[in-house]
Amino acid sequence: MNAPLDHNATVESRIEALSDKVDLLLDRQRAMSELVSESGPILTAMMDAGTRGLGEWEERGYFAFGRSTLRLLDRVATSYSSEDVDELGDAVVGILDTVRNLTQSDVLNVANEATDVLHRADALDPVGVVGAIRKSKDEDIQRGLAVMLEVLRTVGKAAQSDSGATPGQRRLASRLAPSGRRAARPVTRSAPRRRPAARSASPAAAGGAPKQAQGGLARWACVTIPGHALDSGGFLVDPQTWNREFAVLMAAEAGIGELTDEHWQVVDAMRAHYLSVGASPNVRKLANLSGLGTKAIYQLFKKAPGSTAARVAGVPKPVGCI
């Protein structure tokens, strides 16, 4: 008889536990419905206000503005490349700076008074060269001239500095630079519009010093001969460290190939002169000292014989025009 009793007790305890949970659920349900009923009017009011607000925006033309802005953006996107926009991004900071400076009240006052003059332009008498000179006695005009000259100077200076930070500044510089400087820049592109890709492809050209000969000289900065320190022009730093092995290696670097007896004759004459006089002989002296003559020197050490022979002989670059 014990078993059914036990069973009843278990069922009862379960029902008790269930009813607790049902109570909890009911509480929550009640809370939810209260929340909905209370928040309903608030939400309705909010929607009302929102719609009214949007209506007002529409009336004020915000959306029309937005729509035309989108159309504008669309046009910008189709007619400009992303590189252009990147470039613009750089410029925006500069534009903001400029606008802030321009809108200082004293600057605006000056601009305002200047426009006043334009309104009264009809009343002014025409002025010739003599009149301009006479008017230049006026202190205000003198001050104005000084300001304008200073502005011109600044513009000129900005246009001249090739080291301008942004590509735009560099481009401006290249366009405004005196024609000689412009001619010195290498004309590598035939395309009328300079694309940013082309600019970044030739950073050396943008950095200035676009010398044609540099390719030949710059090569020497990369040449090394083990155990011997060379300067950027390929000359031995310490002539005392020279030896015949160095001469052979350097001759190979200079494109001479095998050193013949005549080559050694020139190299020895060059070293002897340097060690006794303390200066490298120029080509003319070298031609006489070696007893070979100018023609032979140019044939033995092709292309810049003075420098080439000096590199092989481990002496400094000869100085002088002859």
The binding site for other proteins (CB under 8 A) comprises 212-213, 215-216, 219, 254-255, 282-284, 287, 293-295, 298, 302-307, 321-322
CA distances (Å), origin 55, targets 5, 49, 66, 67, 170: 73, 10, 14, 15, 50
Smallest separation, CB 280 to other proteins (Å): 13
Compare residues 173 and 254 and give the one whose CB is closer to other proteins: 254
Closest approach of other proteins to the CB of residue 242, in Å: 21
Rank residues 197 and 319 by Cβ distance to other proteins and give the closer one: 319
Least Å from the CB of residue 255 to other proteins: 3
Measured CA to CA, the distance from residue 300 to residue 256 in angstroms comes to 8
Half-sphere exposure in the Cβ direction for 124 (13 Å, CA): 10
Q: Which CB atom, from 3 or from 321, has the smaller least distance to other proteins?
A: 321
For other proteins, the closer CB: 135 or 302: 302
Nearest to 206 by CA among 159, 177, 173: 173
CA distance 186 to 210: 7
State the nearest-atom distance from the C-beta of 312 to other proteins, in Å: 13
- The nearer residue to other proteins, 173 or 266, going by C-beta atoms, is 266
Provide the minimum distance between the beta carbon of 227 and other proteins in the complex, in angstroms, as a whole number: 23
Structure tokens at 53: 């607000």
Of the pair 182, 219, the CB lying nearest other proteins is at: 219
| Separation between Cα atoms, residue 286 and residue 281, nearest integer Å | 6
In sequence order, the 6+-apart residues with CB closer than 8 A to the CB of 36 are none
Separation CA 296–CA 299 (nearest Å) = 5
319 with 279: CB under 8 angstroms?
yes
CB 280 within 8 A of CB 318: yes
Of 95, 83, 97, nearest in space to 167 by CA: 83
Q: Which is nearer to other proteins, 159 or 205 (CB)?
A: 205
Q: How far is the CB of 308 from other proteins (least distance, A)?
A: 8
The distance of closest approach from Cβ of residue 103 to other proteins in the complex, given in angstroms and rounded to an integer, is 51
DSSP calls for 138-203: SHHHHHHHHHHHHHHHHHHHHHH-TT-SSHHHHHHHHHHS-HHHHHHS-----SSS--HHHHHH-H
